[in-house]
Every structure is written in C-alpha cells, then in structure tokens.
C-alpha cells in the first residue's frame, strides 16, 4: 500500500467520472480556483456508464411530455407542481451550460444539445380526456405556454407520421406537442466538461482507478483507499471532502464510509434495453420524442417512448426502455453487487420492498421473459407498421433505485434521486437516477449547500453563482426564468 500526502483539508475527492462529478468539479473550480481536486474513475474512460448517450434516453427532462410528472388527483384536478419544479430545474442546467458556452468552454453546443419536439401521445376515451385536462392546466403556466394540443388524426400525422400510419382509427387519439423540447448527449457534455476540468491547475483525473474504501479520521479528514487497476497496486490518500458520484457504485461506497446517515439504505437495480432502428429511411421520417403512458405496475421511468436522438451529429431512432433485471449495480459491474449490498441495517427495508411491491415484481418478470416479437408488438402500439427485422436490441445503463427505511412497510422503493450527506458536510453521495442527468446542476447545488453551507452564503460565492447560474435561487419569479430561457436558448443555438 502506497501513501500519497497532500494538504488534505484543501483537497476534494470526486468518485466517478459521470455528469455529476463533472458538473460539481467545474462548479467548485469556478467558485474557488485554488481547490485541488482528484477524480477517480474505475473505467479507462470518462462518461462510460449511465452518462453515455447510448446508456440513457437523452431527454432534456422539462416535464413537457412525461405524463408521470402530472398525476390526476382524486377530485380530477391535474397536479402540475412537480412539472414546474422539473422544468425550472432543467432551465437551471441550461443556464449553467449557456454560461460555459459564453465562456468558450464549448464551441458547438449542438454537439450535446439539440431541439427535438416533445410529444405526449395517448389513445382511448379516458386517456384522451386526461391529456386534454393536463393541457388546460399546463398551458396557463408561462413555462408551458407554447404547448399545443390536438385530437385531430390529420394534425397528429403531421406531427408524427410513423405513429399515425396504419393506426386503427376506431378509438380516439390525442397528443400535446412542445416544439422547444430537447435531446441531450450527456456523454459528450461530460467529456467536454472533463477535458476542460483536467486542463485546470490542481486537478487530477485518475482513470482505471477504483475507490475501494473510505475511512473517517479523527481530525475530520477522510482516508481514500484506491486501486490502480492497470498495475494492480493499492494506494491511499487523505482528503478534506468526498463526493461519491459513482452512479450505481455509490451505494456500496456510502456503506463503506460508515456514516450514520447511510444506515438503512438499500438499492434495487433495474436495467434498461432499447430497440434501435437500423433503417435510415424510417429514422428520417420521425422527428420527436413521443412519450406514452406507463403500463400498470411499471416503474415511472419505464414509460415507453419513441425517440429521435442526435448522437454524434447523426440521427437515431430508439424505442423503449424495456426493463431488465440484473444483480449488477453498474453496466460494467459485478453480479455480486446486489447480494454484497445487503447489510444488517438494510435487510428489513429490502425485505419490506420485496413484500410490498408485488406488481413491480410481476412487471419485471414479464419484461425479462419478452421475446423480440413481444418487444416489436409493444413498439407497434407506437409505430403500427414497424418491421421486426429493422430493429435490434441494445443494452442501456443500470439504474439502482433507492430503498429507504419506512415505518409502515419496513422499506420503501424510491424512483427519484436522493442526496445523503454526513452532518459535518465532509461526505456526500448521490443515489438513484431520475430525473437524472437533466437536473445535474440543481443536484450539485444541493451538494454545495450541504457541504459548503458557510461559503454558499458568502458574498463572494453568491456573486459568482449569480453570474454562472442566474436562476440558482429557485424562488426567482417565473417571468425572469422565461427571460433567461430566451437568452440561454440563443446561446445554446436552440429554438425559442
Ligand atoms: C436507461 C436509462 C435512461 C435514462 N434516461 C435519462 C434521460 O432521458 N434524461 C436524463 O436526464 N437522465 C436519464 N437517465 C439518468 C442519467 O443517465 C443519470 O442520472 C446520470 O447519467 C447519472 O450520472 P452520474 O454521474 O451520477 O453516474 P454515471 O454516469 O453512471 O457515472 C458514475 C461513474 O462512477 C464510476 N464508478 C463507480 N464506482 C466507482 C468506484 N468505486 N471508484 C471509481 N469510479 C467508480 C463508474 O464507472 C461511472 O463512470 C437515464 C438512465 C438510464 C439508466
């Protein structure tokens, strides 16, 4: 074991080289260029897990098309409060990216963000009535003022020809469309952020280096134990603050840190799969992200969608995600990840989740037994003329859903993200993966608030934050958000 000595109190450790660590690293260096930062990544490259473009759906989640963000309440009212929060949070991310573009961090924002209209599409009397009601509620809000609604088959065919061709018109169909929706290549974005970060003084990016253990020291610092996977050599190093941005790998490391706040957390991995179209003529006929309604028992992130993607300048067409079950916590992880994560203090919450989520279990069993023909049958609900031979299966990233203690049911399965941090703010970990990369900036502002509360209130940091992310104070009036959206869209070469 080799020891590397730095001045630990001024040193920050970021575990994992995905979009979260990239965002936090840049924010920290902008706020204090004197911070020294080490990023550890177990893979030989950055952005190769969930943040890679092929491993996620690339939707800039603005709640334009995701029906699970706008539930219908028992009295019939559609609640849009979560949609407003998510749309605001995405504008926050855009305002940071626009700042980076205006400071020449990227020359071509279209390498990572492009306009693709966001459409919600439903069929049947009940769903059509819900969509109309949702539209009426949303269009009142300035963030969604551009939303269009149609139940006219001709207009719908203009918006999404593949979805309407060959459709049985005996039941009603309806859609809403937001022309200013986006597709984001989070992989490219992460790579550009790391290229910049790695060029700054005091930043060290260690690829093929896996963090194995974290030990709190009496003086408040942390001992990071890690392995160079190329030379099979172990090292250790003291650091002042640790952010575990390890995606699916965050939970095991959080347990290793032994902080009280980590007790009782468990994780349940759900993998994703897409059908990818291989017919260029078909790909060119679609220009939207078309989101439908989740089937009964399906977790919210399994809402089916027929998606135009722009990956490395090329259009692609994907349908999914289909859920899969694997005991791995990372796509490039180990089958022992799930069993190894079971501990004395999370066994009850994990059992509770198993017992109280029978519809989810049933849904997952049904999903893992699907054949290619079954998947194509699901695709035909969105693209009736789909030909089985024009679609191939691709494996997406792993999502580890958070399991938390719960008084009534022992354990509860959460589908959002959860920031867990030590009381003294020297360690923070991000668990879960939804709404995910789109909200990276607000998630990392939460890390800064939890770990640097005093500095976040200082005039110096406030002024810098105001300059980088003018929307960082989320109580900002909606008119100001719209004003910034206009400016950000111009800088990011997006439509307004
Ligand atoms: C199927 C699917 C669809 C999605 N769709 C969307 C979408 O449409 N829109 C959206 O905004 N978000 C989406 N997401 C979520 C989004 O991809 C994630 O929230 C985001 O990429 C997470 O970023 P991260 O940096 O936390 O993790 P990751 O990108 O997974 O990076 C974590 C890194 O940590 C490394 N690591 C792990 N353990 C260690 C260790 N011990 N030592 C060193 N390195 C380690 C890993 O190798 C990895 O590179 C989707 C996710 C999935 C799986």
Pick 7 or 172 by higher pLDDT.
172
Which of 184, 394, 437 gets mutated to test ligand 1 (max ligand atoms within 8 A of its CB)?
Answer: 437
At 353-362, the pLDDT tens digits run: 777 777 777 7
Query: Residue 6: pLDDT above 60?
Result: no
Cis upstream peptide for 427 (omega within 30°): no
At residue 437, the pLDDT reads 96
What separation in Å is there between the alpha carbon of 162 and the centre of ligand 1? 31
At 332-349, the pLDDT tens digits run: 999 888 888 888 888 888
Q: Are strands 173-178 and 148-150 parallel, antiparallel or unpaired?
A: antiparallel
Query: Residue 319: pLDDT above 60?
Result: yes
At residue 297, the pLDDT reads 63
Of the listed ranges 5-14, 79-88, 466-475, the one predicted with least confidence: 5-14
Give 469's contacts (C-beta < 8 A, 6+ positions apart). Answer: 92, 95, 96, 99, 441, 445
Q: Is 322 exposed, middle or buried (0-12, 13-18, 19+ CB in 10 A)?
A: buried
At residue 115, the pLDDT reads 96
Which of 16, 244, 268 gets mutated to test ligand 1 (max ligand atoms within 8 A of its CB)?
Answer: 16
Average pLDDT, the chain: 92
Which of 187, 189, 247, 273 gets mutated to test ligand 1 (max ligand atoms within 8 A of its CB)?
Answer: 247
Query: Residue 207: pLDDT above 70?
Result: yes
Q: How far apart are CA 139 and CA 295, in angstroms?
A: 26
Pocket lined around ligand 1, Cβ cut-off 6 Å: 15-21, 40-43, 48-51, 55-59, 61, 186, 210-211, 245-247, 249, 253, 272, 321, 330, 396-397, 399, 430, 433, 435-438
Q: How far apart are CA 65 and CA 435, in angstroms?
A: 13
Percent of the chain with pLDDT over 90: 76
Q: What's this model's pTM, rounded to 2 decimal places?
A: 0.94
Token digits of residue 253: 């490391």
Token digits of residue 462: 């406030």
Token digits of residue 286: 């679609």
At 72-116, the pLDDT tens digits run: 999 999 999 999 999 999 999 999 999 999 998 888 999 999 999
* Mean pLDDT, range 284-298, rounded to an integer: 88
DSSP string computed for 252-285 = HHHHHHT-GGGTT-EEEEEEEEEEEE--HHHHHT
């Amino acid at each position: 074991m080799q020891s590397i000595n730095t001045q630990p109190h001024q040193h920050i450790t970021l575990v994992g080289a995905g979009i979260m660590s990239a965002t936090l690293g840049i924010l920290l260096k902008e706020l204090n260029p004197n911070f020294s930062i080490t990023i550890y990544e177990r893979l030989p490259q950055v952005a190769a897990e969930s943040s890679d473009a092929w491993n996620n759906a690339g939707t800039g989640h603005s709640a334009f098309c995701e029906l699970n963000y706008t539930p219908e309440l028992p009295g019939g009212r559609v609640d849009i409060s979560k949609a407003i929060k998510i749309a605001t949070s995405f504008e926050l991310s855009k305002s940071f990216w626009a700042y980076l573009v205006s400071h020449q961090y990227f020359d071509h924002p279209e390498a990572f963000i492009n306009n693709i209209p966001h459409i919600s599409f439903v069929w049947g009397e009940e769903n059509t009535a819900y969509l109309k009601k949702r539209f009426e509620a949303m269009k009142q809000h300035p963030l969604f003022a551009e939303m269009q609604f149609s139940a006219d088959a001709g207009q719908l065919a203009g918006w999404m020809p593949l979805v309407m061709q060959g459709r049985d018109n005996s039941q009603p169909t309806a859609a809403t469309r937001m022309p200013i929706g986006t597709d984001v290549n989070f992989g490219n974005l992460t790579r550009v952020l790391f290229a910049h970060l790695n060029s700054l003084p005091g930043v060290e990016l260690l690829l093929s280096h896996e963090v194995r253990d974290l030990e709190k020291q009496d003086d408040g610092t942390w001992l990071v134990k890690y392995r160079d996977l190329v030379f099979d050599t172990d090292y250790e190093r003291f650091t002042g603050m640790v952010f575990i941005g390890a995606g699916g790998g965050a939970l095991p490391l959080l347990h290793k840190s032994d902080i009280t706040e980590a007790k009782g957390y468990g994780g349940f991995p759900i993998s994703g799969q897409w059908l990818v179209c291989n017919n260029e003529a078909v790909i060119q006929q679609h220009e939207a992200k078309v989101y439908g309604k989740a089937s009964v028992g399906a977790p919210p992130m399994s809402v089916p969608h027929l998606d135009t993607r722009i990956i490395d300048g090329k259009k692609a067409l994907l349908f999914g995600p289909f859920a899969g079950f694997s005991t791995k916590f990372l796509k490039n992880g180990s089958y022992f990840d799930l069993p190894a994560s079971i501990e004395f203090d999370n066994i009850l919450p994990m059992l509770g989740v198993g017992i109280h989520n029978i519809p989810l279990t049933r849904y997952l069993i049904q999903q893992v037994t699907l054949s290619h023909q079954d998947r194509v049958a699901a695709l035909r609900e969105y693209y009736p003329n789909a030909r089985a031979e024009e679609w191939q299966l691709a494996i997406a990233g792993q999502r580890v859903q958070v399991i938390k203690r719960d008084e009534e049911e022992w354990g509860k399965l959460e589908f959002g993200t959860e920031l867990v941090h030590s009381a003294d703010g020297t360690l923070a970990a991000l668990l879960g993966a939804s709404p995910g990369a789109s909200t990276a900036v607000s998630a990392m502002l939460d890390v800064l608030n939890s770990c640097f509360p005093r500095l976040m209130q200082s005039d110096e940091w406030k002024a810098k934050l105001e300059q980088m992310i003018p929307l960082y104070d989320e109580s900002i009036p909606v008119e100001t958000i719209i004003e910034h959206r206009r400016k950000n869209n111009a800088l990011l070469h997006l439509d307004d």
